[in-house]
A and B are shown apart, each in its own frame.
Chain A
Amino acid sequence: MPTDFRRSRRTGRDPLAAVVLLLFVVFFVLPVLWLLLAATKTDDQLVHTNPLSFGSWHALRGNWDALTGYQGDTIFLWLRNSAVYAFIALAITLVVAVPAGYALALTDFPGRHTLLIATLVVMLMPSATLVVPLFLEMNAVHLIGSMWSVILPYAFYPFGVYLAYIYFSTAIPRSLLEAARLDGCSEFGTFRRIALPLATPVVALVGFFSFVANWTNYFLPYVLLPQSNQFPVQVGLGTLLDDVPQFNPTVGSLAVERPELALATLLAITPVLVVFLFSQRFLVAGMLAGATKD
């Protein structure tokens, strides 16, 4: 059992390891802590007070009111759009990528190698010039302006297919599958009864990464979505940034103060963190428990 193993290692507790782990915690978390505290300050306090000091509840309230007042609750519209695009695309990705990864890893068919190579090539292609053909494709099928013009490209997630491929090729023992086939299972039956129950970690992994990739994608919706009420929250943040006087001095009375932007950023990243916490349980579940016939 994993716990037994770890407990037996505890005798060799390494202070150096603890220091290293702690240093990295500071490295990763400090800027986010700053962001958290920045949302509680006024713009003046942001510059003039200690970076890690708490502002005031009053200022936080003010920032919240200003943020929700921006173009009338648009932030919630953006969040809703992000959620719709990300979850629908995620569902499609899971249905598509997990079986594909399984087949690439554990079955043999003509074109298997070609598919792996094509996936790799497409993954490695820089995206700058892919926007134009994508736009033309979407226009050709009259999807410009529809949310499917971003959801369908999101659903194509080769990184996830490769994750599933590596997982299935390393984590499922051949003996298990042979046992199933010996019992007369069809390929789909094998997949459904043996591989899928054991695939919880990779489903969580692919699902989570797909969700994050969809949620944080900026350029595709920026170019493909014509109406501002379709924007996901990432593009919305860009819009807010463009109204910060320090970046755009002529913005006038509609200025978005930096603490307001900090609050918007926190709202934008919270769903990702929630999904992470939810899927963490499944992400790292590991060992198979004696599932072969021998």
Chain B
Amino acid sequence: MSTVANTVGSERAARRRLRPVRAGHGFVAAYVVLLIAFGVVPTVYAIYFAFTNAGNTFSGLSNFTDAADDFRFLPAVEHVGLYLVFWLASLVVFVVGLALLLHRLAARGVSRALRFLYYVPGALAGAASVMVWLFMLDPTVSPVGFLLRALGFSTFNDVVAPGNLPVLFTLMAFWTGAGGWIVVMYGALNNIPTEVLEAARIDGANAWQTARRIQIPLLRKWIVYMVILAFAGGTQLFVEPQLLSQASVGVAGRDYSLNQLSYDFAFQTNNVNAAAAISVELLLVGLIVATVFVARSGFFDAD
């Protein structure tokens, strides 16, 4: 819209008036080198793989159709879609909610302790937590066995039945991922000037109104960043089904997600091209959603 463009244009002009135009290059030079070496080149190469075949000749969209024809592709799309719903909802609601609650705590020590405790599972990434989940989800040996048995599960295989997987993976991903984001959101909340919050309190706003009208809008950029990454991370679901597949020795979580399928293509069938095709598709989906969020929230503009 023209008004937005005008605002952006004048803002940019204002910035340029104040700062030397080329100084920014000095600050980003080292980063650009790393970006090209470890970001752009591999990404471009992967895209190149997606459009060529094993003999390095251009193959159009055949890798994409090959990947889509695989019997695991459509189920994987369904799985990822379902997981995304659970994952995004729980992450955004609980991370922002918990950060707000923690921020309201009077006792600083308690707040700090809780933030640490919420973060601890984040240190347990990868192979470290295979055993943890194997025991947590087994009604006979789990600390929450009573809960699992109350839900009608009597063995580990019962718990990891296909219908329960979206919830299980959401739980696992939230367990490791939420703590870090809570720390980020909490820090962001601390950057909101207290005068603003004080003014709101004097005006008679309760906690919920303060959160909704003041804190959350001021957290906009952080929340957008979290949603973009959570969406991409959700579509690229890999670690949780891989963990569960290892823990259950293949009973659950094998070829569950599209990213797992991509890895199978790359490292099992030795078909790097089909793997790259799936990767490009996942990248496109992530980019489209990111673009929507970035455009609507002015993510790239300086405030």
Contacts and interface: CB of A to CB of B under 8 A. Distances in A.
B207 A14 contact: yes
Contact of A126 (B34, B184, B282, B294): B282
A244 B23 CA distance: 56
B3 to A, nearest CB: 20
A132 B25 CA distance: 31
Interface string B52-91: 0000000000000000000000000000000000000000
Nearest to A9: B104
Interface in B14-40: 15-16, 18-28, 30-32, 34-35, 37-40
B266 to A, nearest CB: 5
B158 interface: no
B43 A35 contact: no
B105 to A, nearest CB: 7
Contact of B259 (A126, A136, A181): A126
Contacts, number: 318
B214 interface: no
User: A interface, by DSSP: helix, strand, loop or mixed?
Assistant: helix
A280 B116 contact: yes
A134 B34 CA distance: 12
B66 to A, nearest CB: 15
Chain B interface bracket (under 10, 10 to 19, 20 to 34, 35 or more): 35 or more
B187 interface: yes
A218 B127 contact: yes
Nearest to A35: B132
Contact of B175 (A28, A99, A102): A28
Interface stretch (A59-67, A79-87, A104-112): A104-112
Contact of A118 (B35, B125, B201): B35
Given A108-B15, A166-B222, A212 B42 contact: no
B22 A158 contact: no
B35 A32 contact: no
Which among A111, A115, A258, A286 has the highest number of chain B CB atoms within 10 Å? A286
B303 A170 contact: yes
Given A12-B207, A187-B27, A212-B123, 20 more contacts: A27-B175, A28-B117, A30-B144, A51-B135, A103-B24, A103-B26, A104-B28, A108-B24, A128-B265, A129-B266, A137-B37, A155-B34, A163-B184, A181-B19, A186-B23, A188-B23, A191-B27, A216-B126, A244-B131, A265-B131
